[in-house]
Amino acid sequence: MLGSTYGGQDCSVARSLEIFGERWTLLVLRDALYGVRRFSDFADHLDIPRAVLSDRLRKLVANGVLTRSTHGGTGGSAVVYELTDAGRDLWPVVHALAHWGQRHASDVATPRIFTHATCGSRLNAHAHCPACDVTPAVADVVTSRPGKPRRSDRVSAELAKPHRMLEPV
């Protein structure tokens, strides 16, 4: 089996990839930035085997990127996963990947849109608002996906509409 560490690489890119270089991990983080917090919502939206999802979430918690906590609610208690500050710091990475994919690797007809919550302007390639000349924090970004969602799960439907990043889906 191929290892997941790059012990011979004296490089912070290699150290980062040891945490989120595995298949699905960045998509779990993307969804967490969108406000997905529950295991079943990650599972439905990503459509991945539950054992793989469990493994990825466990490692992200162990690496301090997500927290796992139990919230009491009217329907009983539920486990939720939320980004730590270190996890939120991945927002420019995920945004840059979205932009790069759109430019160089995408056949997506209606790509996801990211706008500044304050003024409604589209963010540029650097997640910067040209109208306000600021780079908004992820919590000040609104995302939407025009057109009919290709997937029929609840999270896809919610995230097609304008939705503030990090707010629970």
Residues lying near Zn ion in the complex (CB under 5 A) are found at 116, 119, 121, 129, 131-132
Closest approach of Zn ion to the CB of residue 108, in Å = 25
Judged by CB, which is closer to Zn ion: 108, or 132? 132
Terminal-residue alpha carbon distance, the chain? 36
Judged by CB, which is closer to Zn ion: 36, or 142? 142
Closest approach of Zn ion to the CB of residue 101, in Å = 24
Judged by CB, which is closer to Zn ion: 27, or 117? 117
How far is the C-alpha of 5 from the C-alpha of 41, rounded, in Å? Answer: 29
What is the chain's length?
169
- Do the Cβ atoms of 48 and 24 come closer than 8 Å? yes
Closest approach of Zn ion to the CB of residue 130, in Å = 8
Non-local (6+) Cβ contacts of 110 within 8 A are 145, 146, 147
Radius of gyration of the chain (CA): 17
Closest approach of Zn ion to the CB of residue 137, in Å = 12
Judged by CB, which is closer to Zn ion: 99, or 116? 116
